Amino acid sequence: MVRIPHQTFGHRTVGLRAVAALILMATVAGCGGSNYQASPDRDPSSGNRGSLFAPAKTGTAVFSKENVGEAGISVNAFLWRASLDTIAFMPLASADPFGGVIITDWYSPPETPDERFKVNVYILGRMLRADGLKISVFRQQRNASGQWNDANVGPEVPGEFENAVLSQARELRLRATAQDK
């Protein structure tokens, strides 16, 4: 176990973890101006789909080309943005841009209300590569008594999600390089 040294401030001893937690909370509180809406009724087909940190059309926050590869996020920004865009129809449970993890909440398609899906996205590095992305898809079906039971997902489904994200990420990168010229 790693022991974290403490710093003394006056008569109180405050651990670095507490200071780091306060800084993290202040940083998160400062992100309140986002146009992102984590609701399942958000229309992903609209022209202005906001992302987790910025509206899609502004190109600001951590997804601007000035911030790619800097301290904004620890994973590939194109894969991050493409992942959020690809699963925009599903409600988000959590998103960690520093760890590269996106977890959706359960989503039931309107045409099959007795079936629901959940997606976990793992961005594994800073490079835009096919092996830098892993997606897990979970499926449940409702039985006659109303209980949700785990069901199999076809082996091609995670690959289809990964291909969609990779295609979107390549398109975002091409647009960014075209704007640089």
Q: Is residue 14 part of a domain?
A: no
Whether 3 is in a domain gets the answer no
The pLDDT, as a whole number, for residue 45 is 39
Determine, yes or no, domain membership for 94: yes
Q: Give the domain range for residue 164.
A: 31-180
Burial of residue 90 (CB within 10 Å: 0-12, 13-18, 19+) is: middle
pLDDT score recorded for residue 5: 43
Q: What is the dihedral of CA 121, 180, 51, 141, to 10 degrees?
A: -30
In a domain, 2, yes or no: no
Q: Is the pLDDT of residue 83 over 60?
A: yes
Mean pLDDT of the residues in the chain: 74
Q: Report the pLDDT value the prediction gives residue 181, as an integer from 0 to 100.
A: 72
pLDDT tens digits, 126-137: 999 999 999 999
Domains identified in the chain, total number: 1
**Residue 68 covered by a domain:** yes
Q: Would residue 105 count as lying in a domain?
A: yes
Q: For the whole model, what pTM was predicted?
A: 0.60
Cα distances (Å, whole numbers) of residue 137 to 43, 71, 109, 152, 164: 22, 30, 14, 10, 14
